[in-house]
Amino acid sequence: MSTPDTPQQSDLRATLDERSAGRRRFGFIAGGLAAAGLLAAGVVFAASALGGNTAGAGEAATPADAPSEPLSVRIATSQDSDFQTAIAQVAREKGLIVEWVNLSDWVLPNTELAAGSVDANAFQHILYLSNFNVQNEENLTPVFSTVITQWGIFSATLDSLDELEAGARIAIPDDPSNGGRALFILEAAGLLEIADDSGEFPTLDDVTSNPLNLELVAIQATTIPQQFDDPSLSAVVVGTAYFDPSQNITSDDALYLDNSLDEANLPYINVIATRDENKDDPAWEILRDAYADPRVAEALQIESAGATTLVQVSTETLRSKLADLEELARANL
């Protein structure tokens, strides 16, 4: 799934330099951050409260270019987080009131958005969005990119993939987009081969070679970290940031890690999504600026230890890729 570096790959590659520059310029914030966990599914992410130069308690700084009357939006997510609190605080300083609406699964944030109960959602990558749009005949669209989460293969009992035995059971997500990503990771790790014509949504039927006769167990992605210690499982394939902080599992514990900033991972970039008729709301530009605030970037970097990275990919690129993915999803119906 990797592709050679080309000039066209600058959207993702530029993130590396941006992140390094951010650490140099804003490293002083680290001392003001409290420890907090981070959970992201190509979806949900958490970081500590803002540190650094923020308004005092009960006060909100008001930049000169902020609207005189704040705009407001309701944004659906699938879990509360301190990172959302940080985004809301910065957005408020810029003239936007953000109300996060915590919903219990990965379906409701899209169905509630389509129904008009919320203005946007922030929980999914564009591959997941494409599958939802096609299956539900909707036209939700990204307004800007947010983060991408690193995925890998993890085990509670093995120290190396070389220790995998024939017939070992490995958990992968049961939804088409994240399940396909897990299969690509297993292929990149040398454990499987997938048919060349499988597209972006490979299934178990697309596995053409499985030398160890691995048993791939499809379960809900959000529950995989809780089943990490299941003695019947030799390994799991999941986003590093899915693990609860209390589990003390980081990218250093992975048996194999994908390169989240590889251009091939463009489908897994998370976005703020809204209804097509709402895509030009001026609130999105303010919210984009909030996500780009260095305090938020530094908070995410510190708390995720690199497992989740803020990325800036053009809206045109996101929408073009979404259209391509929707065509593939229709072909798989």
Residue 63: partners with Cβ closer than 8 Å, 6 or more residues away? 93, 94, 95
Sequential pLDDT tens for the chain (333 residues): 333 333 333 344 444 344 434 433 332 222 222 222 333 333 333 332 222 333 333 334 445 455 567 899 999 997 777 788 899 999 999 999 999 999 978 889 999 999 999 999 999 999 999 999 999 999 999 999 999 999 999 999 999 999 999 999 999 999 888 999 999 999 999 999 999 988 888 999 999 999 999 999 999 988 999 999 999 999 999 999 888 888 989 889 999 999 888 888 999 999 999 999 999 999 999 999 999 999 888 878 777 777 888 999 999 999 999 999 999 899 877
- Give the pLDDT confidence score for residue 263 in this predicted structure: 86
Q: What would be the CATH architecture of the domain defined by 7-149+263-331? A: 3-Layer(aba) Sandwich (3.40)
* Integer CA distances (angstroms), 8 to 14, 262, 317, 326, in order: 11, 12, 11, 22
Amino acid at 306: G
> Per the structure block, which two tokens stand in for 5?
């570096």
The residue extents of the domains of the chain are 7-149+263-331, 151-257
Categorise residue 137: left if φ over 0, alpha if ψ from -120 to 50, beta otherwise.
left
pLDDT, tens digit (0-9, with 9 covering 90-100), for 67-108? 567 899 999 997 777 788 899 999 999 999 999 999 978 889
pTM (2 d.p.): 0.75
d(CA 264, CA 6): 12
Fold assignment, 151-257: D-Maltodextrin-Binding Protein; domain 2 (3.40.190)
* pLDDT at 53 (0 to 100): 31
Equal fold, 7-149+263-331 vs 151-257: yes
Residues 234, 172: Cα–Cα separation, whole Å? 12
